[in-house]
Structure 1
Amino acid sequence: MAHKRIVVKIGSSLLTDQTRLTPRWGFMQRIMEDFALLRDQGYDILLCSSGSVALGMKMMGVTPENAGLRDKQASAACGMPLLLNAYKQIGHEYDLNIAQILVTLGDFEIHSRFLNTKNTLVRLLEAGVVPIINENDTITTEEIRVGDNDRLAAKVAQMVLAEHLIILTSVDGLYDQDPSNPDAKLVEEVQDVSQYLSVTEGVSTLGSGGMLTKLQAANMAQNSGCHTIIANGEADSPISSALFGDRPRTICPAHSEPLATWHAWLSERLHIAGSIVINSDAADAVDAGERGVHREDVIRIEGSYHKGDVIHIYDEAGKERARGMSDFTSEETEILVRNLDIPVKQLLGYHSRAVLVEHTNLTTLDERHLPWERPEPAKQARFEPFPNESR
């Protein structure tokens, strides 16, 4: 029987007693029991689990309200053995073996590391081992971290070609307004998550994301051909009951025509490495799939990026039109753009085509993608706009 893959994301507020900062053993028992049930039905399970920072805070003598970055990094180091030990003890009752995978932003954004991580996860699943995945909070800083396990879980789902992403939270799903409002109604199915972004404010005390990051994750999963279910974790058989529709939930169905794996990796980003602004004619040509981005197209370079980074491509009106892998660093790009009449070899010392982003390494955006707002030039721009007369 062919195995189907499910990625499950569980937040800190479900795993951790918010007052005592200890594991919620009863909840974890229900989770692992459900894993065993689904395993016996032919499913592979991957778990994206928060909780290490919260569980380590007591050892560090800090609380969620007063912990700084160094406190949280140290708390993660203390809490991870506690979290894994809890999963291992309970999993042993159901003959479930577990493995720990700690990832950073680069494991998703750098393609070679993305493939290496994927290969490890697939091999664990082949051996019947449940991977427990979390961001490596001990070494990451605000500038280089994913930031929330919702989108991290969506990237894992994309990575392993999962059929379902199940996000367990403290409410029954997405509501059309603040769920504390008596008139709030559960939205049972969401085809276009952008219609509900205005009702997604709020972050739990222990968590790093709210409903916004869950919808962002759902959008990423939809584009990769993965169904997303958002449901309350406080239920018997919390995963299977949500999966099989035995209780209230919100489902975000996968798009009928998912992106190819390469284009999904290019477009579903967790972090803006940098961006460029190109003229309108070039943007239209890129949008039509006619060509890549040439150096004469560029009006502005924003941010600093390396060769091989995926950059965001905006038109003059500030609309994001595409994302693609840059063949040059931001510094090299500036040199090429400011000296249009000089060959690449003379400028950079090596021969290359003067194409900043090749057509094959570029993906255009459509209505199903959530766009990134263009960074404020005053805060983000590394270089000034290039003079019109140089065109």
Structure 2
Amino acid sequence: MTKPKTIVVKIGSALLANQELLTPRYGFLQRMMEDITHLRSEGWNVIVCSSGSVALGLRIIGETPESAGVSDKQAAAACGMPLLLNAYKQVGHEFGFEIAQVLLTLGDFEDHRRFLNTRNTVHRLLESGIMPIVNENDTITTEEIRVGDNDRLAAKVAQMVGATDFIILTGVDGLYDRNPDDPDAQFVAEVHDVNEYMDATKGKSTLGTGGMATKLQAANMAQEAGVTTWIAQGEVDRPLSRVLDGTGRATKVIPNPEPLSGWDSWIANRLQMAGSIVVSESVAANIANGDRAIRRSDVISADGDFTRGDVLHIYDNKGIERARGLSDFTSEELRVMINNPDTDAEQLLGYRTKGEIIRSNNLVALDTRHLLWDAPAALSEG
């Protein structure tokens, strides 16, 4: 039996909400859902990651995108979510299929058990012919615990379900080598290394939380999981089909020909940094060369408040990120061991341990195509 083709579509707030009236753009939804109906008839599973709830709720609570604070946006999300889902449901019924809402927070991606539970739910909906509409739960999340942008949320969903394609719909027809308002800007049809274009991705839309930079970050997460990413114009007829059949212009981000496994991809593709450690250059080189755990004696310093099972970012002593891995210790336990190098770990912690901070099978070396994170200031200064 042939595995179903799965596409994840990310739709931004500017496409879904009228920028001045802050009301649903039913004309866009009609075109979008008609195209999704066509794709479903051709055997595609479609998952939508939708922005828009905050934008649609701002008018109800008497705020604007410029004036709204965190609590305003949370209240706006509570008001706007029913409007957004009702709009999807109304148009979906016109084309004869059901939708379901999947609300997610940062923890649903960063905790592996919750990650798997979410994946099972999404697969079950698809098996029943129901289209999942995924949103971040903006009503309860704060700046400290939120994903931060729906581009990367959608990329995590694409990784989670093993999607073949990931389409980011935006207000432009793809990536340019500089600001598209520049008359000398050149369209970029194909991207292998997103690092080459990060400096050209400044700015964001009025209604959205991310610009082209977050789209390239999301594309990088997807390509490391073996997913083809497309950045395309949403304000057209057949916005998805024209990308997939090659009749419309879009930027294609080529997936890594040797993608990470599901486990390694979950470790390597982070949405926030739980904690970080510094190791020597020689240890970092050994990590890159193959099977090498990180031991207590390898760690020079640590930063962050993390717990056992959190993913740590691993830097060399020059401040360059070299790997990511699952910690076997809390930040408090690790600091106790670092600060008392000559004392037996069992005596310090009260239980027997080999002192492996990160086991080799829970450690992923980052290659040159992976977007690296800057070291935290405290780690750099240490």
Q: Establish whether TM, by shorter chain, passes 0.5.
A: yes
> What are the within-5 Å matches in structure 2 for residues 171-190 of structure 1?
171-190=172-191
| Aligned ranges 1:276-355 → 2 under 5 Å | 276-355=277-356
Deviation at 1:205, TM superposition (A): 0.3
Structure 1 residue aligned with 2:53? 52
Q: Which residue of 1 aligns with 2:263?
A: 262
Counterpart of 2:181 in structure 1: which amino acid?
A: S
In 1, the alpha carbon distance for the partners of 2:4 and 2:316 equals 44
Where has structure 1 moved over 3 Å in runs of 4 or more? none
User: Per-residue CA shift, 1:241-265, capped at 9, x if unaligned?
Assistant: 1221111110011111111111111
Shift of 1:302: 1.2
Matched letter for residue 141 of structure 1: T
Alpha-carbon distance in structure 1 between the residues aligned to 2:354 and 2:35: 54
CA-based RMSD: 1.1
Q: Which amino acid aligns with 1:148?
A: D
Distance 1:130 1:351 in 2: 49
Secondary structure (helix, strand or coil) at the match of 2:188 reads coil
SS in 2 for 1:287: helix
CA contact (8 A) 1:229 1:250 kept: yes
- Conserved in 2, the CA contact under 8 Å of 1:6 and 1:43? yes
Matched, 1:104 2:79: no
Residues 310-337 of structure 1: per-residue CA shift (max 9 Å, x gap)? 0000000011111000000111000111
More deviation, 250-259/11-20: 250-259
Q: CA deviation at 1:341?
A: 2.7
Instruction: Please name the residue that 2:4 is paired with.
Output: 3
Distance in structure 2 (CA, Å) of the matches to 1:343 and 1:119: 43
Aligned residues: 381
Q: Where do 1:83-94 residues align within 5 Å?
A: 83-94=84-95
Q: Could you tell me which residue of structure 2 aligns to residue 233 of structure 1?
A: 234
Superposed displacement of residue 138, structure 1? 0.5
Give the Cα–Cα distance (whole angstroms) in 2 for the partners of residues 183 and 285 of structure 1. Answer: 45
Q: Is the CA contact (8 Å cut-off) linking 1:2 and 1:42 kept in structure 2?
A: no
Map of 1:388 onto structure 2 = none
CA contact (8 A) 1:295 1:354 kept: yes
SS in structure 1 at match of 2:376: coil
Shift of residue 343, structure 1, vs aligned partner? 2.4
Cα separation, 1, equivalents of 2:288 and 2:240: 40
Q: 1:37 and 1:171 mapped to 2: Cα distance?
A: 23
Deviation, 1:2, is 3.8
Provide, for residues 103-122 of structure 1, a one-character-per-residue CA deviation record: whole Å limited to 9, x for no partner.
Answer: 00011111111111111111
Q: Which amino acid aligns with 2:306?
A: Y
Residue 62 of structure 1: aligned partner: 63
Code of the aligned partner of 1:241? R
Q: Name the amino acid aligned to 2:359.
A: E
C-alpha distance in 2 between matches for 1:361 and 1:13: 40
For normalisation by structure 2, the TM-score amounts to 0.98
1:350 offset after TM fit, Å? 1.6
Tell me which residue corresponds to 1:149.
Answer: 150
Counterpart contact for 1:166–1:243, Cα < 8 Å: no
Q: Is the 8 A contact 2:301 2:338 kept in 1?
A: no
| CA deviations over 1:271-296 (Å, ceiling 9, x no partner) | 11010001222222222123111111
Matched, 1:368 2:334: no
2-structure distance, mates of 1:40, 1:47:
16
TM-score, length of structure 1 as denominator length = 0.96
1:43 is matched with which residue?
44
Percent identity of equivalent pairs: 58
Q: Distance in 2 between matches of 1:362 and 1:167?
A: 30
Task: Give distance in 1, aligned partners of 2:178 and 2:280.
Answer: 40
Q: How far apart, in 2, do the equivalents of 1:279 and 1:225 lie?
A: 31
SS of equivalent to 2:292: coil
Farther-moved stretch of structure 1 (191-200 vs 277-286)? 277-286
Deviation at 1:349, TM superposition (A): 1.4
Gapped runs of 5+ residues in structure 1? 386-391
Cross-structure match for 1:208: 209
CA–CA separation in structure 2 for the residues paired with 1:30 and 1:311: 43
Aligned residue number for residue 31 of structure 2: 30
| Aligned partner of residue 313 in structure 2, secondary structure | strand
